[in-house]
Structure 1
Amino acid sequence: MIGQRLEVRQGQGLVITPQLQQAIKLLQLSNLELEEFVETELERNPLLQREEADAPAETAVEAPAADGELSFNTDEGREALGAVDASSDDLYGDAAPGERGGDRMTDAADSAQPGLSDWSRVGSGGGLPEGDDSERPDTRALSLWEHLRAQAATAGLSPADHGIALTLIDATDEGGYLRGELAEFADRLGCDLQRIEAVLATCHGFEPTGVMARSVPECLKLQLIERNRFDPAMAALLDNLEMLARRDLPGLRRVCGVDGDDLQDMIWELKALTPRPGAGFGGEPAQTVVPDVHVRPDPAGGWKVELNSDTLPRLLVDKRYHGVVAAGARSDTEKTFVADCAVQANWLVKSLDQRAKTILKVSSEIVRQQDAFLAFGVEFLRPLNLKTVADAIGMHESTVSRVTSNKYVSTPRGVFELKFFFTAAISATDGAASHSAEAVRHRIKTMIDGEGEGGDVLSDDRIVEVLKEAGVDIARRTVAKYREALRIPSSVQRRRMLKTG
Structure 2
Amino acid sequence: MALGPRLDLRQSQSLVMTPQLQQAIKLLALSNLEIETFIGEALESNPLLEAGEVSREAGDDAPDAVADGDTPPDAPTSDELMLAGGGEGDAPLDLDPAALDIDRDTGDWSAAPGSGGGEDGPDISEHGDVEADLAAHLETQVGPAAPNVRTAFIARHIIGLLDDAGYLAASLRDLASDLNVPLAEAEAALELVQSLDPTGVGARSLAECLALQAKEADRYDPCMEVLLANLDLLAKGSFAQLKRICDVDDEDFADMLGELRSYDPKPGLKFARSDSAPVTPDVLIRASSETGWDIQLNQATLPRLIINREYYVELRGGCTDKQSKGWLSEKLADANWLVKALDQRQKTILKVASEIVKQQDGFFRRGVSELKPLTLAKVAEAIEMHESTVSRVTSNKYLHCERGTFELKYFFTSGVGGGADGEGASAEAVKARIKALTDAEDPKKILSDDKLVELLKAEGFDLARRTVAKYREAIGIGSSVQRRRQKKLESI
Q: Identify the match of residue 294 of structure 2 among 288, 304, 320.
A: 304
Give TM-score scaled by structure 1 length: 0.51
Shift of residue 44 of structure 1?
Answer: 0.7
Q: CA deviation at 1:23?
A: 1.2
Q: Return the offset for 1:7.
A: 3.9
Structure 1: distance between partners of 2:284 and 2:47: 34
Structure with the greater alpha carbon radius of gyration? 2
RMSD: 5.5
Checking the alignment, whether the CA contact within 8 Å between 1:385 and 1:423 is kept in structure 2 is: yes
Give the CA deviation at 1:428. Answer: 7.2
User: Where in structure 2 are the equivalents of 1:455-466 lying within 5 Å?
Assistant: none
Per-residue CA deviations over 1:267-287 (Å, capped at 9, x if unaligned) read xxx99989659989xxx8101
Name the CA distance, whole Å, in 1 between partners of 2:42 and 2:405: 30
CA offsets per residue over residues 423-474 of structure 1, 9 Å max, x none? 12479799932555679999xxxxxx87xxxxxxxxxxxxxxxxxxx999xx
Pick aligned residue for 2:280 from 261, 265, 290: 290
Structure 2 residue aligned with 1:191:
none
| Mapped contact 2:397–2:407 kept (Cα < 8 A) | yes
8 Å CA contact 1:94–1:394 kept in 2: the answer is no
Instruction: Indicate the residue corresponding to 1:92 in structure 2.
Output: 78
CA deviation string 1:70-104 (max 9, x = no partner):
xxxxxxxxxxxxxxxxxx88833455176479xxx
Structure 2 residue aligned with 1:417: 407
Higher relative contact order structure (alpha carbons within 8 Å, sequence separation ≥ 6): 1
Q: For residues 344-375 of structure 1, what are the alpha-carbon distances to aligned partners after superposition, in whole Å with 9 as ceiling and x for unaligned?
A: 00110111111111111110110111110011
Secondary structure (helix, strand or coil) at the match of 1:419 reads helix
Give CA-to-partner distance per residue, 1:182-213, whole Å, 9 cap, x none: xxxxxxxxxxxxxxxxxxxxxxxxxxxx9xxx
Q: 1:12 offset after TM fit, Å?
A: 4.2
8 Å CA contact 2:303, 2:342 repeated in 1? no
Partner of 1:18: 19
CA shift for structure 1 position 321: 1.3
> Partners of 1:100 and 1:258 in 2: how far apart?
69
1:177 aligns with 2:119: yes
In the TM superposition, residue 412 of structure 1 has moved relative to its aligned partner by 0.4
Q: Distance in 2 between matches of 1:67 and 1:336?
A: 26
CA distance in 2, matches of 1:402, 1:368: 19
Per mean C-alpha deviation after superposition, the further-off stretch among 374-383 and 426-435 is: 426-435
Letter of the 1:331 partner, please give it: D
Structure 1 residues 297 and 441, CA gap change in structure 2 (3 angstroms)? closer
Distance change (3 Å), C-alpha of 1:251 and 1:274: closer
- The residue number in structure 2 matching 1:152 is 98
Asked if the contact 2:431–2:471 (Cα under 8 Å) also holds between the matched residues in 1, the reply is: no
Query: C-alpha separation between the residues in 2 aligned to 1:260 and 1:291?
Result: 47
Q: Give me the whole-angstrom Cα distance separating, in 2, the residues matched to 1:354 and 1:259.
A: 65
**Which residue does 1:27 correspond to in 2?**
28
Distance 2:305 2:326 in 1: 23
Aligned to 1:72: none
2:226 is the counterpart of 1:251: no
Are the aligned partners of 1:295 and 1:303 in contact in 2 as well (CA < 8 Å)? Answer: yes
Deviations 1:106-145 (A, max 9, x none): xxxxxxxxxxxxxxxxxxxxxxxxxxxx979xxxxxxxxx
Q: Distance in 2 between matches of 1:322 and 1:303?
A: 42
How far does residue 310 in structure 1 lie from its aligned partner after superposition?
0.8
Counterpart of 1:64 in 2: which secondary structure? coil
**Aligned equivalents of 2:409, 2:227: Cα separation in 1:** 54
| Cα pair 2:97 2:410 within 8 Å, conserved | no
- 8 Å contact kept, 2:90–2:388: no
The CA distance in 2 between the partners of 1:433 and 1:259, in whole Å, is 53
Q: Is contact 2:353-2:408 (8 Å) kept?
A: yes
Structure 2 partner of 1:365: 355
Question: Using the alignment, how far apart are the partners of 2:377 and 2:97 within structure 1?
Answer: 25
Q: Which runs of 5+ in 1 are unaligned?
A: 69-87, 102-133, 137-145, 154-161, 182-209, 211-228, 443-448, 451-469, 473-479, 488-501
TM-score under structure 2 length normalisation: 0.52
Give how far 1:417 is off. Answer: 0.3
- Please state whether the residue corresponding to 2:78 is helix, strand or coil: coil
Equivalence for 2:329 = 339
| 1:495 matched residue in structure 2 | none
The question of whether the paired residues in 2 share the 8 Å contact of 1:373 and 1:381 is answered with yes
Contact 1:374/1:413 (CA < 8 Å) preserved in 2? yes
Provide closer, same or farther for how the CA distance between residues 373 and 166 of structure 1 changes in structure 2, counting only shifts above 3 A. Answer: farther
Structure 1 residues 2 and 364: CA distance shift in structure 2, 3 A: same
The answer (yes or no) to whether the contact 2:63–2:340 under 8 Å persists in 1 is no
Q: What's the offset of the Cα at 1:314?
A: 1.6
Q: Judging changes above 3 Å, is the alpha-carbon distance between structure 1 residues 418 and 166 closer, same or farther for their aligned structure 2 residues?
A: farther
Seq. identity, %: 40
Aligned to 2:44: 43
Give the deviation of 1:2 after TM superposition.
7.5
Q: 1:439 to 1:39 in 2, by over 3 A?
A: closer
The alignment of Structure 1 onto Structure 2 pairs a total of residues equal to 323
**1:328 maps to 2:274:** no
Q: Distance in 1 between the 2:77 and 2:353 partners?
A: 18
Q: Is the 8 A contact 1:294 1:411 kept in 2?
A: yes
Do the aligned partners of residues 441 and 371 (structure 1) sit closer, same or farther apart at CA in structure 2, a change above 3 Å counting? closer
C-alpha distance in structure 2 between counterparts of 1:254 and 1:2, whole Å: 106
Identify unmatched segments of 5+ residues in structure 2. Answer: 65-73, 106-115, 124-164, 166-204, 235-262, 433-448, 451-459, 474-492
